[in-house]
Structure 1
């Protein structure tokens, strides 16, 4: 599939085709091995941001945070309704595959559902208060300036959907995320939905390192999907 074909596949999606579910600020801190000192005073991009509450809470810690996602082209009230429906549907699906997940942090499906609802509630409230902080965009292109952000975070998109997005799309998207990033990009997780490490990871890292980036796969303190506990850390060398 060509880049243009893949772009058209993910652009102009009807709301029904979008899954609007997010993680909480606390989950992000664990997924990306972040400390409060690392985000305070930093300009941060969350892409794709979905219904995550990281951006809103990072701002409370003094970060200049922005989220970008194709879903943000839709009206906030519609996203809220769709997101709550998606949470309910996801919980029903998880009932049958609970063994594929670790429940140390959540304890039960009910607790997980509460966390997912908390994430979308915080996200939607922040979208209504600061709509300019939620930018509609279609990867692999972003409407931001070169090196606009100190830090970029990308969760549960690249590598996760490796069966739908080919190696060229991954490379072009990562290069675009790096274009708008001044210092570092963190991507979580490094496995697909089956828990398998991204099959083109070594080739991808070699290309990035050939362009002068420093790459590393780092274990994090977060693991919900079994085997999904590592992030790809890409740093621009100076």
Structure 2
């Protein structure tokens, strides 16, 4: 286990942009145009807002969405302040090839939060953003052709056991169409170690007929986070 750790009590709010999702999951914009996407544990990321502005069908779920826009915005600003302080203490450990420096990293979080809040305020009643908590999602089976989960599963290994992870991924697969994909990033814990039950999880999913493969990711900010898990239903 790594001697270093990103200290986190509870689950942090994520505020990531469409561009960051493109890097994390190696998305090609043209490939997403006819894809129904669900962002699970999307937090205050602006991925869905930016995707919809590009004509892509995208929705997000997160327990955060039970809150009003102003509460989320206030919470998000505090979260960005706190996370920036934590990252600063471990600054030399991270890969800055994408963000450049800590200031740019913080600025991208603030921009994503603001973009999300604008869309959330306007689209909250349309069903684009729904409050939900894994391992139960409020969608019929086979609703989406691509289901993504960023910076939640695997990362919080110490807080959520293997059974939770298995049930959560099974639920992601349930709402995914046959032939569709579930993609999860990163594969590292807050200790930056590879999720220790990854092989067990993949084996269990393959017994249910799902095919898993590790693919390269282009956003290796967290040490060692150069891969994502892609599961085909």
Aligned counterparts, 1:45-56, within 5 A: 45-56=38-49
CA distance in 1, matches of 2:159, 2:149: 17
Residue 207 of structure 1 is matched in structure 2 by 204
2:176 counterpart of 1:181: yes
2:35 counterpart of 1:38: no
2:91 counterpart of 1:98: yes
SS of alignment partner, residue 49 of structure 1? coil
CA distance in 2, matches of 1:120, 1:20: 10
Q: Is the Cα contact below 8 Å between 2:14 and 2:151 reproduced in 1?
A: no
Identify unmatched segments of 5+ residues in structure 2.
1-8
Residue 11 of structure 1 is matched in structure 2 by none
2:190 counterpart of 1:197: no
CA distance in 2, matches of 1:123, 1:17: 22
Per the normalisation by structure 1, the TM-score is: 0.90
Instruction: Say which is worse superposed, 114-123 or 85-94, in terms of deviation.
Output: 85-94
2:159 counterpart of 1:155: no
Residue 67 of structure 2 is matched in structure 1 by 74
**TM-aligned CA deviation for residue 19 of structure 1:** 3.2
Q: Is the Cα contact below 8 Å between 1:48 and 1:68 reproduced in 2?
A: yes
**TM-aligned CA deviation for residue 17 of structure 1:** 6.3
SS of alignment partner, residue 89 of structure 2? coil
Residue 55 of structure 2 is matched in structure 1 by 62
Per the normalisation by structure 2, the TM-score is: 0.92
**TM-aligned CA deviation for residue 72 of structure 1:** 0.6
> Which ranges of 4 or more aligned residues in structure 1 deviate by more than 4 Å?
none
Cα RMSD of the aligned pairs, angstroms, is 1.3
**TM-aligned CA deviation for residue 18 of structure 1:** 5.9
CA distance in 2, matches of 1:200, 1:18: 20
Q: Is the Cα contact below 8 Å between 1:56 and 1:123 reproduced in 2?
A: yes
Aligned counterparts, 1:80-159, within 5 A: 80-131=73-124, 132-159=127-154
2:217 counterpart of 1:220: yes
SS of alignment partner, residue 190 of structure 1? coil
CA distance in 1, matches of 2:111, 2:160: 30
16, 19, 22: which is aligned to 2:12? 19
